[in-house]
Structure 1
Amino acid sequence: MNIDRFKHHHVEILSGIAALRKLSHLGVTDHAVDIAHELKALSQIVTQHLAIEDRILYPSLERSGDERMAGMSRAYQNDMQGIASAFINFARRWSNATLLSKNPDGFRDEANIVLKNVHTRMVRENREFYPAIESLGEAGRTAVHDGLLYA
């Protein structure tokens, strides 16, 4: 199963988190506009990634015929719900430069929790989930005909 698009999203997401960390260290108040802009861009990538996972990746793994992969897929999908919800709420709340300027410590505190959870999840998927997907044998591969994933 070709998961290059998902891997590319992870690179973009991890880069976005690194950019937010750098801007935050430079000063939330001084860089509030840049942080809000970067957070909006990150939110778009994360939202797209989550939608494609839910519509394509997880259902494909459920149909793969590999019960271990189907179980792993369900576990990853269930785990992601809380992380995704927290991130979406975080992005909505802090995509406003004025609010960032008024409460830089609140942003930092929440970012340290939410973005760390997203980062940890991406790293875990890169180390465990994606290699397991790529190791599916020919018999367990599922064709998806929309050009995103294919056997």
Structure 2
Amino acid sequence: MDVGELRHQHEEITLTARALARAVSEERQPEGVARLRWQLARQLMTHLALEDRLLYPALKRSADLRTRDQAAALEQEIGALGAIFNSYMASWTDDRIAREWPAFCAETREILRALTDRVGREDRLFGTLADGRAAGKPPAARSA
């Protein structure tokens, strides 16, 4: 499985998450917060759908028990993180954000921490896929 598209999506998600993190570090609500939130939501929805279709089925076929276990744990988190993010998006309307800016910032930072952690763990699993272990092949030789 080529994980290039998944890696590219991680890069885009990370860039958007960083921009949103900068925005919520401001004392006052800056312009563009709504745009960043919806951009991140679109990126996440697209990414999670691709993972469901490609990544996790491949990881579940791994000959490596540790890879299968890690994949199972991350796959369970997909639903949890997706549900949490959907709830976050639904509960924070533009009006509520304007009224409760500090609370919005705190919750956004929490969501972004969970997302950053997940992206990092998935990136490590992508390395497993790239070296062939997930497909039941021996790891690819690495040149020094």
Return the TM-score normalized by structure 2.
Answer: 0.82
Match of 2:115 in 1: 118
Give the stretch that moved more between structures: 2-11 or 20-29: 20-29
- 5 Å-filtered alignment, 1:2-151, equals 2-31=2-31, 34-94=32-92, 96-126=93-123, 128-137=124-133, 140=136
CA contact (8 A) 1:87 1:115 kept: no
Shift of 1:64: 4.3
Change (3 A) 1:35 1:71: same
Tell me the secondary structure at the aligned position of residue 25 of structure 2. helix
1:7 maps to a residue whose letter is R
Number of matched pairs: 137
1: distance between equivalents of 2:91 and 2:36?
14
Change (3 A) 1:3 1:139: closer
Deviations 1:115-143 (A, max 9, x none): 111111112222x21111111259637xx
Shift of 1:28: 4.5
Identity %: 25
2: distance between equivalents of 1:93 and 1:15?
24
Shift of 1:83: 2.0
Structure 1's unaligned 5+ residue stretches are: 142-151
2:126 maps to a residue whose letter is Y
Return the TM-score normalized by structure 1.
Answer: 0.79
2:100 maps to a residue whose letter is N
1: distance between equivalents of 2:37 and 2:28?
12
2: distance between equivalents of 1:138 and 1:115?
28
Change (3 A) 1:82 1:46: same
Tell me the secondary structure at the aligned position of residue 29 of structure 2. coil
Shift of 1:70: 2.6
2: distance between equivalents of 1:137 and 1:20?
35
